[in-house]
C-alpha cells in the first residue's frame, strides 16, 4: 500500500517513448490550421512538448495527480494485494525449505546456498503469479475500469489462449531470479558481518532492516533493464488489442532491448530507476526484517512450549 504510487510512476516512466524520434514527423493542430513538423533532432528538445510526457519522477507524480487525480497513484492495487499473499507464501517457504535441504547436503558454511535457494524459490513464485503481474502492469499503465480490463483479457485469451497471460514471463524471470540470487547472497553476507560487528548471535530488527535495504538496492540497480523490458512487453500486448496496432514478431527479450536502445538510447534501459529504488529498498527492508522478527518470535515461543512439563 505504501510503495504502490512509486510502482505506478515507475511503470509510466518505463512505458513512455521518446516523443520526438529522429527523422519522424508529427501533426500539430492549433485550432486554426494543422502543421506537419519534422523531428530534426532526436533529443526531445523542441518548441512543442507532447502532453503526458514525463521528465522524471517528481514531474510524473505531479502530472498524474493533476490530470488523473490522486487515486490513479494506487492503480493496480487490488491485483498487487492479491499477488502479495501467494508470492510471499511460495517464495519464503520455498527459500527456507531449500536452504535447510541444501545445508544438509552441502554443509552449513557453503556460500552458494542462498544463491541457489533464492533463484529456485523466486522462479516458482514468478511463474505462479505472472498473470496477475500482467494485469497489474496494464492497470498501472492506463486507468481502466474492471469491465474494460475484463474485456481486454477475455479478448486476448479468446484469440491467443490462456498462455497469452504469461506474456513477459521470460523477462520477469530474467529480472527476478538474478535479483533474488544477488539479494539473498548479499543479505546473508551483510547480516553475518553486522552480527559479528555487534556481537549478536541472531539478527536484530535493525540488522535485518539495514541488510535488506542495502542488498535490495544493489540487486534492483543491476536487474533494472529487465524490468523495463518486462513493462514494454506487457504494455505492448494491450496496445495491440485496444488501439489495433499491428505487432511485428519481435517478442524476444534481447529484441525488445535493442528496440528500446534504438528509440531512447542506453538510458532507456534505466527508465524509472529512481522510483524503483525508492520502492525496492524500503519494501525489501520491511519484508525481511518483519519476517526475521516473526521467525525469531515463533521459534522462541515453540521452544518455551516444548520445555514446559
pLDDT at 25: 66
Q: Does the pLDDT value for residue 234 go beyond 80?
A: no
Cβ 11 vs Cβ 233: under 8 Å: no
- Mean pLDDT in the chain? 79
Of the CA atoms within 13 Å of residue 155, those in its CB half-sphere come to: 13
Cβ 284 vs Cβ 213: under 8 Å: yes
Structural domain contains residue 293:
yes
Structural domain contains residue 175:
no
- The beta-strand segments (E) located in the chain are 25-29, 34-38
Structural domain contains residue 58:
yes
| Angle ∠(94,99,101) on CA atoms, nearest 5 | 95
CA distance 241 to 151: 10
| Spatial CB neighbours of 106, under 8 Å, sequence gap ≥ 6 | 112, 113
Q: Does the pLDDT value for residue 19 go beyond 60?
A: no
Q: Are residues 87 and 122 in the same domain?
A: yes
Q: Which of 145, 167, 189 is the last residue of a domain?
A: 167
Q: Which residues pair with 214 in a beta bridge?
A: none
pLDDT band for position 229 (50/70/90)?
A: confident
Q: Are residues 223 and 294 in the same domain?
A: yes
Q: Are residues 220 and 300 in the same domain?
A: yes
Cβ 266 vs Cβ 53: under 8 Å: no
Mean per-residue pLDDT, 28-32: 66
Q: Are residues 155 and 253 in the same domain?
A: no
For 102, the domain range is 76-167
Q: Which of 73, 98, 128 is the last residue of a domain?
A: 73
CA distance 14 to 268: 8
Buried-state track 240-258, b at ≥16 Cβ within 10 A, e below 16: ebeeeeeeeeeeebeebbe
* CA pseudo-torsion sign 176, 177, 183, 188: positive
pLDDT at 141: 66
Q: Does the pLDDT value for residue 111 go beyond 80?
A: yes
For the chain, the domain total comes to 3
Among 188, 177, 176, 175, CA closest to 214? 188
Structural domain contains residue 134:
yes
Residue 168 to residues 8, 39, 165, 287, Cα–Cα distance (Å) = 18, 32, 9, 25
Structural domain contains residue 285:
yes
pLDDT at 80: 76
Please give the share of the chain, as a percent, with pLDDT higher than 70.
76
Q: Are residues 59 and 96 in the same domain?
A: no
Q: Does the pLDDT value for residue 100 go beyond 50?
A: yes
pLDDT tens digit sequence for 142-162: 666 667 667 767 776 777 677
Q: Does the pLDDT value for residue 181 go beyond 80?
A: yes
| Spatial CB neighbours of 10, under 8 Å, sequence gap ≥ 6 | 227, 272, 275, 276, 279
Q: Which of 37, 57, 73 is the last residue of a domain?
A: 73
Q: Does the pLDDT value for residue 180 go beyond 80?
A: yes
Structural domain contains residue 99:
yes
CA distance 40 to 21: 9
Residue 117 to residues 71, 121, 173, 178, Cα–Cα distance (Å) = 38, 6, 15, 12
CA distance 9 to 80: 15
Q: Are residues 65 and 110 in the same domain?
A: no
Q: Are residues 88 and 204 in the same domain?
A: no
| Angle ∠(65,71,72) on CA atoms, nearest 5 | 65
Q: Are residues 96 and 146 in the same domain?
A: yes
* Residue 278: Cβ within 10 Å count: 18
pLDDT at 83: 77
Residue 249, C-alpha cell as written in the block: 514478431
* Residue 15: Cβ within 10 Å count: 20
Amino acid at each position: 500500500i505504501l510503495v504502490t504510487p512509486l510502482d505506478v510512476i515507475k511503470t509510466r516512466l518505463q512505458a513512455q517513448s521518446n516523443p520526438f524520434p529522429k527523422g519522424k514527423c508529427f501533426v500539430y493542430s492549433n485550432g486554426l490550421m494543422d502543421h506537419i513538423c519534422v523531428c530534426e533532432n532526436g533529443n526531445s528538445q523542441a518548441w512543442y512538448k507532447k502532453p503526458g510526457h514525463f521528465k522524471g519522477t517528481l514531474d510524473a507524480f505531479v502530472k498524474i495527480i493533476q490530470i488523473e487525480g490522486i487515486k490513479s497513484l494506487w492503480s493496480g492495487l487490488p491485483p498487487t494485494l492479491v499477488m502479495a499473499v501467494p508470492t510471499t507464501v511460495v517464495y519464503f517457504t520455498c527459500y527456507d525449505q531449500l536452504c535447510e535441504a541444501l545445508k544438509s547436503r552441502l554443509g552449513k558454511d557453503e556460500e552458494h546456498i542462498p544463491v541457489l535457494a533464492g533463484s529456485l524459490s523466486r522462479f516458482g513464485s514468478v511463474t505462479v503469479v505472472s498473470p496477475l503481474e500482467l494485469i497489474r502492469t496494464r492497470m498501472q499503465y492506463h486507468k481502466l475500469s474492471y469491465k474494460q480490463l475484463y474485456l481486454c483479457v477475455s479478448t486476448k485469451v479468446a484469440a491467443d489462449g490462456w498462455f497469452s497471460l504469461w506474456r513477459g514471463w521470460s523477462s520477469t524471470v530474467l529480472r527476478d531470479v538474478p535479483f533474488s540470487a544477488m539479494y539473498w547472497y548479499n543479505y546473508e553476507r551483510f547480516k553475518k558481518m553486522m552480527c559479528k560487528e555487534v556481537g549478536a548471535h541472531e539478527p536484530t530488527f535493525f540488522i535485518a532492516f539495514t541488510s535488506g535495504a542495502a542488498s535490495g538496492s544493489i540487486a534492483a540497480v543491476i536487474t533494472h533493464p529487465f524490468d523495463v523490458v518486462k513493462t514494454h512487453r506487457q504494455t505492448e500486448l494491450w496496445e495491440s488489442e485496444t488501439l489495433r496496432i499491428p505487432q511485428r514478431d519481435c517478442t524476444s527479450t534481447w529484441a525488445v532491448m535493442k528496440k528500446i536502445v534504438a528509440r531512447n538510447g542506453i538510458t532507456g534501459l534505466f527508465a524509472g530507476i529512481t522510483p524503483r529504488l525508492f520502492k525496492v529498498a524500503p519494501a525489501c527492508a520491511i519484508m525481511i526484517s518483519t519476517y526475521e522478527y516473526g521467525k525469531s518470535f515463533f521459534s522462541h515461543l515453540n521452544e518455551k512450549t516444548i520445555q514446559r512439563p
